[in-house]
């Protein structure tokens, strides 16, 4: 019955104009200024996402690439990401508060791929991520990975059926997945594809944007 619901929801959403897979398009925007207050702050408060630690508000890695940053920021559905000084990845809902910089200021090859540029000194190489306007949800096993944060990364709604969960999630850009608990008549909407540890053993059905 649960599987039927997921399938039914997918085809319902398909009818109103969905692409089946969550295809991501990555486009380069330009080189932008930064300072120690940090222009791109979408990861503020986040301590870790799955196995990746966040050094508020960015991920630092000796093997940073554009591809890593893009896939990482997509876990939170962020529309922009930025790379700085070869090793730092920022995710954000906006960018550019300190204005554009000269293209030649973004001159650092990425630590993990020297054919790619990862910003410069106080400079972000900024990219846009585009998602399909409407996406399908896939029901799957609850991920064993979790998100750790000083700020809430989920919110709850009363729900009688999984659809009461999927429809508000679909309508909210910062909802990436849901947990529907039929027993509790409750829906948990998740800001990242992974749940906070406090919800990871919820007895419910997990759906992620497809």
Footprint of ligand NAG (CB under 6 A) = 35-37, 97-98, 113, 115-116
Least distance in Å: CB of 1 to ligand NAG?
43
**For ligand NAG, the closer CB: 68 or 207:** 68
Least distance in Å: CB of 124 to ligand NAG?
13
Token pair of 189 as six digits: 């909407």
**For ligand NAG, the closer CB: 80 or 137:** 80
Least distance in Å: CB of 102 to ligand NAG?
18
**Angle, vertex CA 206, rays to CA 170 and CA 173, nearest 5:** 25
Least distance in Å: CB of 19 to ligand NAG?
25
**For ligand NAG, the closer CB: 125 or 135:** 125
d(CA 169, CA 160): 15
CA 66 vs. chain centroid, Å, equals 15
**For ligand NAG, the closer CB: 125 or 149:** 125
């Amino acid at each position: 019955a649960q599987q039927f619901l997921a399938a039914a929801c997918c085809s319902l959403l398909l009818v109103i104009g969905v692409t089946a897979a969550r295809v991501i398009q990555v486009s380069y925007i330009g080189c932008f200024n930064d300072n120690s207050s940090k222009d791109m702050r979408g990861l503020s408060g986040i301590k870790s996402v799955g196995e990746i630690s966040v050094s508020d508000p960015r991920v630092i890695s000796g093997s940073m690439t554009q591809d890593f940053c893009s896939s990482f920021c997509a876990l939170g559905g962020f529309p922009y990401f930025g790379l700085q000084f070869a090793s730092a990845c920022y995710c954000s809902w906006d960018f550019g508060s300190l204005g554009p910089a000269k293209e030649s200021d973004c001159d650092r090859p990425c630590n993990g791929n020297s054919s790619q540029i990862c910003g410069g000194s106080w400079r972000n190489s900024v990219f846009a991520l585009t998602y399909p306007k409407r996406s399908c949800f896939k029901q799957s096993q609850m991920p064993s990975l979790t998100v750790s944060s000083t700020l809430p990364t989920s919110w709850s709604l009363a729900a009688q059926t999984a659809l009461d969960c999927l429809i508000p999630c679909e309508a909210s850009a910062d909802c990436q997945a849901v947990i529907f608990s039929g027993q509790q008549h409750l829906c948990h909407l998740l800001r990242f594809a992974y749940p906070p540890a406090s919800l990871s053993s919820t007895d419910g059905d997990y759906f992620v944007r497809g």
